[in-house]
Amino acid sequence: MPLLEVEDLRVAYGKIEAVKGISFSVEAGQVVTLIGTNGAGKTTTLRTLSGLLKPLAGKITFDGEVINDMGAHKIVAKGLAHSPEGRRIFPRLTIAENLQLGAFLRKDASGIQRDIERAYTLFPILGERRGQAAGTLSGGEQQMLAMGRALMSQPKLLMLDEPSMGLSPIMMQRIMETITELKAQGTTILLVEQNAQAALSLADHGHVMEIGTIALSGTGQELMHDESVRKAYLGED
Amino acid sequence: MNDLPQQLASGLILGAMYGLIAIGYTMVYGIVQLINFAHGEIVMFGAFGGLTAWLLLPQGTALTLALPLMLVMAVGVSVLVGIGAERFAYRPLRNAPRLAPLITAIGLSIMLQQLIWSFYPDAKKARSFPQFSGESVQLLGANVQRGELFLLIAAPICMIALGFFVAKTRTGRAMQATSQDPDTAKLMGINTDRIIVTAFAIGAAFGGVAAIAYGLKYGQIDFKIGFILGLKAFTAAVLGGIGNIYGAMVGGVVLGLAESLATAYIEHIPGMELFGGGAWKNVWAFVLLILVLLVRPQGLLGERVADRA
Ligand SMILES: Nc1ncnc2c1ncn2[C@@H]1O[C@H](COP(=O)(O)OP(=O)(O)OP(=O)(O)O)[C@@H](O)[C@H]1O
Ligand SMILES: [Mg+2]
C-alpha cells in the first residue's frame, strides 16, 4: 500500500475548480514530483493534502487512514510535513524558535535538541545565526530554514512547494543537493517544482499538471526524455 | 503646578486600568485581526461577577478577605463570557467579510448590557461596590486611595506574567506563530482554534481584574460602564500599537496621564480657559489619539505590519 494515495481529488475556490480530479500516489522512500505551469493547481493540491483546504470530492489516504476531513494540525501529527510555497518562516521569531516550532508536537526534548543540531549541520548558516530573527535571512537561507523546520516534525512524508523559487542559480543548486541528500537518507518527498529539469532528474516518478488535471505521468527519466515535456518545460524547441 | 505628583499618580492609576483592558483588544486583534467591541461589556460582566461574590459572602466580611474570592468570580465570569463570545458569536463568522463580526460585536454589547439591566437585581441604577475604609496612602508625594493600590499592584503582576507566558511557554510561542502566520502555524501542528480561545480568555481575564479595580476605585458599577471603558481601552490599544501587548500598557498609561494632566492644567493655558476640567477629558483623549495616529499610524510601539506574511 502506498504511503500517500490521492484518488480523483477535486478542489475549488468558491465556484472555481482549481483541481479537477487528479490521482497519484507516493510510495515510502520515493521522491515524486509535480511539475506544471503557473496556476496548474500544484499548490492547491499540496494545501489540500496538508488540510489547509478541504477537498470538494475525492479521497486522500495517508499512512492507511483517510485524511479528507482531518484538521491540518492532526495531519501533521500523522507524519505529513509541508514546507509551503514562499517559505513562510515566522519572521519575528528567531531561527532557533522557528525550528522548535517545527517540533511543536514532539515531546522528546533531547531528541528535538539533537535534530536542531542536525539542521545546523545540514545548513551551517542557520547555526551561525540561530539567535537572529528569521526575517533577516536571505531568500535562500529562509528556504533552508523552511525545509529544516519541516524536517523537525520527523515526517513520514515531506512536501516541498517550489523550494527553488526566486533563488540564485548557486542557491538553487544547493537546495537541490540537499533534497538529493535527504532522498539518499530515505526521506519520502513530494516535490512541487517549476525547475522541471532539476526536479525530474532526482524524482522516481513525476506528474505533469495542466490547469487542474494531470496531463502526463511517468518516471523522472521518461518525462525528462518526453518530447512534449522537453518543449513545454525544459525550454527546448 | 505643585499638585503635579498627584496628577501623575492619578493618570498612572487610570492608565493602568485602561492598559489592563486594552490587553483584551490587542490580544484578540493580534491573533485574528478582529476588534472585539464587546470587550467593554465583558469587563462590565466581570464587575457584576465580583459584586455577586461580595453579596454572597456573610455580611461584615472584611474586604481584604473577600477580595480574592471577588477577583476569582470577576475573572471567571469575564472569561466565560469571553469564551462564549468567541465560540458562539465570532467563530461562525471566521471567514465572513470583516463587517459581519463588527456588527455582531455591537449587537453582543447591547445584548450583554440588556441582560444585566433586565436580570441583575436592582441593576437599572448604579449598584454600590464595596470600598476599603481608612485613610489614603502617601506615595511619592501623592495621595493614593486604598482601592487604587490594588491596581498599582495587580497591573504590573499581570503584565509580567503575560510577558513571560508569551515569550517563554509553549502555548505562548504557538500564539506568536499564529499571530504571524496562522496557516503556517497549523502546518506546525498548532491547533489554532485553541490558540484563539486562549487569546480571548486571557484578554477577558485581564478585563476581570480591571473590573475589580474599577469597582474599588469608583465605588459603584452599572450596566453601562463597559461602553466608555471599552472605548478608552480600545483607544489605548490603538495608541500603543494594536496587536502589541506592551503597546497596550504603554498606550493605557499615556492615555491616562494625558487625561489627568489635561483635566488639571489645560485651563491654565491662556486662551484655553474654556477647555479645562473633567468635562473635556474624553475630548483630549481622542485628540491625543488622532495626533499620534497622524504621526505614527502604527501606534507608539506599533506592530510592524509589513512583515506579516
Ligand atoms: N486563494 C485563492 N482564491 C481563488 N483562486 C485561487 C486561490 N489560490 C489559487 N487560486 C487559483 O487556483 C488555480 C491554481 O493555483 P495554484 O496556486 O494551485 O497553482 P500552482 O500550480 O501552484 O501555480 P504556481 O506555479 O504559480 O505556484 C489558479 O488558477 C489560481 O488563480
Ligand atoms: Mg504554487
Owning domain of residue A46: 4-91+158-234
DSSP string, B210-258: HHHHHHHHHSEE-TTHHHHHHHHHHHHHHHH-TT-HHHHHHHHHHHHHH
For residues B108 and B125, give the distance between their C-alpha atoms in angstroms, rounded to a whole number.
Answer: 21
Strand-pair partners of A190: A32, A159
User: Which residues of chain B neighbour A51 with C-beta distances below 8 Å?
Assistant: 186
B183 touches chain A (CB under 8 A): yes
User: Which residues of chain B neighbour A86 with C-beta distances below 8 Å?
Assistant: 309
Is A44 a member of any domain?
A: yes
> Domain with A229 in it: what CATH number?
3.40.50.300
pLDDT in tens, B215-269: 999 999 999 999 999 999 999 999 999 989 999 999 999 999 999 998 888 888 8
Distance B252 CA to ligand 2 centre (A): 44
The residues spanned by each domain of chain B are 4-226
For residues B265 and B276, give the distance between their C-alpha atoms in angstroms, rounded to a whole number.
Answer: 7
What the block records as the C-alpha cell of B307 is 512583515
Query: Which atom of ligand 1 sits closest to the CA of residue A47?
Result: 18
Name the residue with the closest Cα to ligand 1, atom 18: A41
For residues B216 and B235, give the distance between their C-alpha atoms in angstroms, rounded to a whole number.
Answer: 23
For residues B177 and A4, give the distance between their C-alpha atoms in angstroms, rounded to a whole number.
Answer: 28
This model of the complex carries an ipTM of: 0.94
Is A106 a member of any domain?
A: no
Is A191 a member of any domain?
A: yes
Is A135 a member of any domain?
A: no
- Model confidence, pTM: 0.91
pLDDT in tens, A210-220: 999 999 999 99
Query: Strands B142-144, B137-139: parallel, antiparallel or unpaired by DSSP?
Result: antiparallel
User: What proportion of chain B, given as a percentage, has pLDDT over 90?
Assistant: 76
Written as tens digits, the pLDDT of chain A (237 aa) is 899 999 999 999 999 999 999 999 999 999 999 999 899 999 999 999 999 999 999 999 999 999 999 999 999 999 999 999 999 999 999 999 999 999 999 999 999 999 999 999 989 999 999 999 999 999 999 999 999 999 999 999 999 999 998 888 888 898 999 999 999 999 999 999 988 888 999 999 999 999 999 999 999 999 988 888 888 776 665
pLDDT in tens, B3-42: 899 999 999 999 999 999 999 999 999 999 999 999 999 9
For residues B47 and B220, give the distance between their C-alpha atoms in angstroms, rounded to a whole number.
Answer: 10
H-type alpha helices, chain A = 42-49, 72-78, 95-102, 109-122, 124-128, 139-151, 169-184, 196-202, 220-225, 227-233
Pocket probe for ligand 1: among A43, A54, A83, A195, the residue whose CB has the most ligand atoms within 8 Å is A43
CB of A38 within 6 A of ligand 1: the answer is yes
Sheet of A213-219, strand order? A80-83, A157-161, A188-193, A31-36, A205-210, A213-219
Burial of A14 (0-12, 13-18, 19+ CB in 10 A): exposed
Residue of A nearest to B186 (CA): A73
| Count of domains observed in chain A | 1
